Amino acid sequence: MQGKIALEEHWESPDFPATGSHDFTKKDWFADVQRRLREVDERVADMDRNGIGIDILSLTQPGIEGITDAGQAVDMARRMNDHAAEKLVARHPSRLRAFAALPLQAPEKAAEELERCVRDMGFVGALINGYSNIGDENTAQYLDEAPVEPFWAKVEELGVPVYLHPRIPLPNQQRIYQGYEGLLGSAWGFGQETSTHAVRLMLSGLFDRHPKVNVILGHLGEALPFTLPRLDHRLRHQRPETHGVHKQPPTYYLRNNFYVTTSGVFRSQTLLNTLLEIGSDRVLFSVDYPYESMDELAPWFDACPISDNDREKIGRTNAEKLFGLEPQNA
């Protein structure tokens, strides 16, 4: 399939080594990942080879969210967004777009920066790497909490989506991983952390207050298409004050306020089950480059056993509608 649009595709600036610690990964593998994070022309060559028309770029995790000082986060977010616009997108303007990196440590400043990126630089939304550190590495602010409300109001006003990307669980919440540190990141901990964060958003009443807000989850929804029916069922038997102020069951929000991408998951059975749960209008193609290979994921998607109509929607037209992009040549 030609003209695919991918939207969990990461970058890093030499001025801000945003990737944090990856002591549990193989050194040679991660060295090549970091090289690709900082290279743009090779990325476009990989896109050409795999029928990908547009990459939507995002600063890699933990990114701005891992900065513990709010003032430094505000300054670095602006610098990184300028870098993305001037050094990456401007080099290949017909092939690359960008998500804003935002200082959620200061939500009103994050709203201002999102507006600058969208209105002045043509960014298509924001990607947020989970919780934001406030003051130290063990203190977090999650996106459902009251101080973040001005940010969500701006998101709805601008009409752009927010990609909720994983990061490693808080250091003081990692006891269950001791002795199995390889599970902390993308192998397991990422999904556990992000799926719980997404459920917090659903239960908080966010989508009742802001029904036009759309959140994107990678990795085919961080297992939520499979686990939320159980959550719906059990919450019916629990006291209302124990699970937030939501007006609808969680699966309602998944099907109406969330999109999921194929990033890092190239298994046909999982995709088919996801389609049965949420429908093809809410699924988007992505790779998770350079942590995953376009050469591996794109050929799988092109050949996976779904209808050509669904392939076009997932691979291209859903993203065109969501981001207001000009139609790609199929």
Give the active site residues: 288
At residue 59, the 3 state secondary structure works out as: strand
Distances, alpha carbon 222 to alpha carbons 247, 258, 281, 321, in Å? 23, 12, 18, 23
Q: Indicate the helix (H) or strand (E) that contains 217.
A: strand 215-217
Contact yes or no for 131/166 (Cβ under 8 A): no
Question: If 0-12 CB within 10 Å is exposed, 13-18 middle and 19+ buried, where does residue 280 land?
Answer: middle
Q: Are strands 140-141 and 132-133 parallel, antiparallel or unpaired?
A: antiparallel
Distance CA 205, CA 144 (A): 9
Beta partners for 98?
57
Sign of the CA dihedral 45, 49, 51, 57?
Answer: negative
Question: If 0-12 CB within 10 Å is exposed, 13-18 middle and 19+ buried, where does residue 294 land?
Answer: buried
What's the token pair of residue 116? 């600058």
Which residue from 288, 268, 295, 316 is spatially nearest to 33, judged by alpha carbons?
A: 288
At residue 178, the 3 state secondary structure works out as: coil
Write the secondary structure of 226-291 as one string of H (helix), E (strand) and C (coil): HHHHHHHHHHCCCCHHHCCCCCCCHHHHHHHHEEEECCCCCCHHHHHHHHHHHCHHHEECCCCCCC
Could you tell me where the DSSP H helices lie in 122-223? 149-158, 189-203, 206-209, 219-222
- The contacts of residue 62 (CB under 8 Å, 6+ apart) are 18, 20, 129, 130, 167, 168
